[in-house]
Chain A
């Protein structure tokens, strides 16, 4: 079983749709959760960062973490063609707790999203 599971898609939605992207994980030691966006021929850029369970909102983006279910989500409201990219979830633990390593992010495979006009 992979430590982090993410449906690779591809996911295609019309402009204006609400997009839901998800990851599940197996290591209960993960406490920090991130979403990165990667445009074609570019490196990943940090989009959202959350600690432990709860919601965080930034403009059209909302990140949710449910540690009891080991499930994280990214919602994109009013999606735009410029949101077309690969979205990567990533997570890390506190220090070396639970087999996690200092400074190590564990990534999902990434979900390819296309928003068409």
Chain B
């Protein structure tokens, strides 16, 4: 595996379900990110982790719970979601957290549908 991988690629869940999204980066980077991409909207940054520590929570509802056990893995735990949470969830990583121009590399995303 190379680059940034995400599983599952597609997920359909009910509002009462609990599920998790997984992201793994094989680039040796130190920062990882979760983004939400909805139709006709810019990418919305959700969470930033630098060296496994959360450094940004962009006012994300508590029904989204991130976990970063090490610099290579990032999870997004989902529970009691709403239909408006349906979107493409993208994971990204970057080499040098906290520096201007630190380029981010994205995974393919998980297409989430909440019924």
Q: Which residues of A contact B (CB under 8 A)?
A: 2, 4, 6, 8, 31-32, 34, 36, 41-46, 49, 51, 88, 92-95, 100-110
Q: Are B56's CB and A101's CB within 8 A?
A: yes
- The count of residues in chain B whose C-beta lies closer than 8 Å to any C-beta of chain A is 30
B65 within 8 A of A: no
* A103 adjacent to B103 (CB under 8 Å): no
> A46 with B105: in contact, given A103-B31, A109-B42 (CB under 8 Å)?
yes
Contact B106 A32 (CB under 8 A): no
Across the interface, which residues of A come within 8 angstroms of B48, CB to CB? 103-104
In whole Å, how far is B78's beta carbon from the nearest beta carbon of chain A?
19
Q: Are B4 and A43 in contact, CB atoms less than 8 angstroms apart?
A: yes
A33 CB to closest chain B CB, in angstroms?
9
- Distance in angstroms from B33 CB to nearest chain A CB is 8
- CB contacts (< 8 Å) of A46 on chain B: these are 103-105
